[in-house]
Amino acid sequence: MVTVALDAMGGDYSPEEIIKGAFDALKKDKDINVILVGKKEVLEGKITEEYKDRCSAVYATEVITNEEAPVAAIRAKKDSSIVVGMNLVKEGKADGFVSAGSTGAVLVGGQLIVGRIKGILRPALAPLIPTEKGVSLLIDCGANVDARAEHLVQFARIGSLYMEKVIGIKNPRVGIVNIGAEEEKGNALVKETMPLLKECDDINFIGSVESREIPKGGADIIVCEAFVGNVILKLYEGLGSTLLGKIKDALMKNVFTKIGAMMIKSSLKETLKSFDASEYGGAPLLGLNGLVVKAHGNSKANEICNSILQCKSFKEEALSDIIREKMTKN
């Protein structure tokens, strides 16, 4: 059994969609338990008879909002859903914690409460992004910008373990985001990191990846500093939604196009589903003594459900233990 603590208070569609996501996960997988964390008045009476055996509630009187400064909020609001949920992981009462709440608070809480694995310099926020070939791991998209070369090397290592163990890609290809394929291209950080990655015999480093190759599936693990990762992630989302909006406009132009739209609708929907980030669950915060998953702020039940299911593979593969072991060796 895997037990997942779920922040019922976080995200634009909480608590309804969050709770629905929990029930969907419980329905899909009988080996999952969920602990809903949130205000008593919000959760009381919400857990249906059907899931009563595998779903419980732990109350928290406070909520951390997106507007609050993360470090101060984590320190001050000891009874917030994020702090209470993370303490459940720390105390071993839950295997993982999922939240669609404040990214900053989740990142800070992960480090301060759940704690880094010994040897890990920085935990990394590593979302899966859809590509033509399936899915790639974008590491790091976190809040700690201006990384050093040694951080990027660790990202490459723990990202490789995640893709191999949790996602099931054998010998995953590691690329570093760069502005050209040639050896001499890059900024100071990339130039410093490149030879270090080449020396790693425990990863399958394939060199530079230009950003235009990312959607084509140019590498399985896309290593970059968090500022660049954040730019890539948000542009992926923004451009995708803009292009789909344009296509919708074109389909709704006149009666003729509307009929055409009906004829292609299901095929289009199916094709684009594979490019929907919510299908892959939230972004794990890798390198902690336990699993913390950050779901999008606008997550609906589907993403929450997938984030919970993701925790199961993580636990089954004992990824934290594997990373810990690796860090002791290197």
Ramachandran quadrant class, 223 (left: phi over 0; alpha: psi -120 to 50; beta: rest): beta
What residues are paired with 288 via a beta bridge? 116
If one asks whether residue 72 binds its own copies (CB under 8 A), the answer comes out as no
The alpha carbon of 221 is separated from its chain's Cα centroid by a whole number of angstroms, namely 14
- Least Å from the CB of residue 236 to its own copies: 6
Work out whether 268 is an interface residue with its own copies (CB under 8 A). Answer: yes
| 200 counts as binding its own copies under rule CB under 8 A | no
Question: Rule CB under 8 A: is residue 168 a binding residue for its own copies?
Answer: no
Binding test (CB under 8 A) with its own copies, winner from 239, 316, 321, 325: 239
Tokens of 189: 């950080």
Residue 246, interface with its own copies (CB under 8 A)? yes
Which residue type sits at 250? A
Among 16, 44, 50, 132, binds its own copies (CB under 8 A): 132
Residue 69 or 112 with smaller CB distance to its own copies:
69
Task: Decide: is 71 part of the binding site for its own copies (CB under 8 A).
Answer: no
Query: Tell me, what amino acid is at 243?
Result: L
| Residue 214 interacts with its own copies (CB under 8 A): yes or no | yes
Cα distances (angstroms) measured from residue 169 to each of 137, 162, 165, 221, 237: 11, 9, 8, 10, 24
271 binds its own copies (CB under 8 A): yes
Instruction: Say how many C-beta atoms besides its own lie within 10 A of residue 211's C-beta.
Output: 17
Q: Examine residue 1 and tell whether it contacts its own copies (CB under 8 A).
A: no
Identify whether the C-beta of residue 310 lies closer than 8 Å to the C-beta of residue 30. Answer: no
Cα 117 to Cα 73, 111, 238, 288, distances in angstroms: 23, 10, 34, 5
247 binds its own copies (CB under 8 A): yes
Minimum CB–partner distance for residue 72 and its own copies (Å): 11
Angle, CA of 277, 160 and 26, to the nearest 5°: 45
238 near its own copies, judged by CB under 8 A:
yes
Place of tokens 């949920």: 85
Return the range that interacts with its own copies (CB under 8 A); candidates 30-38, 48-56, 140-148, 307-315. 140-148
- Restricted to residues 11-70, the positions that interact with its own copies (CB under 8 A) are 69
C-alpha distances in Å from residue 63, one per residue of 8, 66, 79: 10, 10, 8
Interface with its own copies (CB under 8 A): 69, 131-132, 143, 145-146, 177, 179, 184, 186-188, 190, 210-216, 226-228, 230-232, 234-247, 249-251, 253-254, 256-257, 259-264, 267-268, 270-272, 274-275
